[in-house]
Structure 1
């Protein structure tokens, strides 16, 4: 489904990805593990088109992403949960979830909300609260919900467990695990293998922007 082949990416004059290779198959859940600054966020931002590649190839279901703008990648059914959540503080929970759906030509808001609330019913109860009034963990749930609302085929989840209390981290892990039922392809990045490692079909380790090891769980 997602094929990343020997990709190189630079920010200014600093190379943040160095011939990095990774594959996520149809319906697979893959872990991307690396310490802070290893290149995890840079990889996901590169897939989404926020950072340009200098060499290598990224394809999604056979489509080369190089020529697609950021919104064109989302239109393919790719949902992106940013590490910093990226919510609009003054908008409500439901408005934040629907933001990418509103600009889609094919997604039906009611159907996507029903799916999201089915997995995270606690968000239904707080749907009219502004994002700035939520805890950090609650904001992570909303960010995951927004990614799921638009990500009909692939989810990129950047550090979903980072900075979250243990109870909410477990809740996030439970929701992510249940998403297997949707036959989604999912790439999850984090700093260690303590969270939900039993869920992964495959795991890649990134060090200084390059492949370190890969292991199947």
Structure 2
């Protein structure tokens, strides 16, 4: 279980998250819904340690992640695909995918196994493996960012606005990819932020609504 307890985040002298409490179960898909500026991206950045907490704690099972440095949180099996992708433009797609595994000093055999798994799940990314990250389209970059998150996300993957800026056909293709991911990795916990989450209807288990930095309602998918 990934858990946020009374998490408060201040950014530029403004409180962005207001004592947020949130549970993200393992092996489930949790969608965090909210308008722009509601606190969705800040929530993911706080989980990944990109933004410091003013108050509260973040737990992964019995491990307190609060004091763990941002780049070390991937060691606990948490992958993150930010909205802006953040690919290294001069690196090939394959090198962008391998970068977090190299940072974690994974053995070469394990890197190759994970890379093959990603290419099997994302054949469109496999076809781009030798292309430079800087020449990818927005949709291609989103898929590569998903693959990079999966390289280290063995327990949880956090996706920030994955459909933002995508043409309708590409958004549907990405949604289909998430359905395949859910089937191929039933053990994986997913936390996805979205403003309009209808494309996630096939995989969502829990829906959380965030407004002005507060979790204001919780609806569970009917069995």
TM-score range, shorter chain: over 0.9
Counterpart of 1:115 in structure 2 is: 117
**Cα-Cα RMSD:** 1.1
**Are 2:199 and 1:195 equivalent residues in the alignment?**
yes
1:62-211 aligned within 5 A: 62-106=62-106, 108-180=110-182, 181-182=184-185, 183-211=187-215
Q: Structure 2: which 5+ residue stretches go unaligned?
A: none
Query: How far 1:198 sits from its partner (Å)?
Result: 3.2
Query: How far 1:170 sits from its partner (Å)?
Result: 1.4
Q: Structure 1: which 5+ residue stretches go unaligned?
A: none
Counterpart of 1:35 in structure 2 is: 35
Counterpart of 1:10 in structure 2 is: 10
Query: How far 1:24 sits from its partner (Å)?
Result: 1.1
Counterpart of 1:58 in structure 2 is: 58
Specify the SS of the correspondent of 2:54. Answer: strand
| 4+ long deviations beyond 6 Å | none
Rounded Cα–Cα distance in structure 1 between residues aligned with 2:71 and 2:35: 29
Rounded Cα–Cα distance in structure 2 between residues aligned with 1:193 and 1:128: 33
Rounded Cα–Cα distance in structure 2 between residues aligned with 1:208 and 1:54: 17
Rounded Cα–Cα distance in structure 2 between residues aligned with 1:93 and 1:18: 38
Judged with a 3 Å threshold, the aligned counterparts in structure 2 of structure 1 residues 106 and 91 are, in CA distance, closer, same or farther, namely closer
Rounded Cα–Cα distance in structure 2 between residues aligned with 1:117 and 1:17: 37
Query: How far 1:193 sits from its partner (Å)?
Result: 2.3
Specify the SS of the correspondent of 2:131. Answer: coil
**Scaled by the length of structure 2, what TM-score is found?**
0.94
8 Å CA contact 2:179, 2:202 repeated in 1: no
Specify the SS of the correspondent of 2:197. Answer: coil
Specify the SS of the correspondent of 1:170. Answer: helix
8 Å CA contact 2:156, 2:190 repeated in 1: yes
Rounded Cα–Cα distance in structure 2 between residues aligned with 1:60 and 1:105: 22
Rounded Cα–Cα distance in structure 2 between residues aligned with 1:193 and 1:44: 17
**Scaled by the length of structure 1, what TM-score is found?**
0.96
Rounded Cα–Cα distance in structure 2 between residues aligned with 1:122 and 1:154: 23
Query: How far 1:125 sits from its partner (Å)?
Result: 1.2
Query: How far 1:179 sits from its partner (Å)?
Result: 2.0
Rounded Cα–Cα distance in structure 2 between residues aligned with 1:178 and 1:4: 28
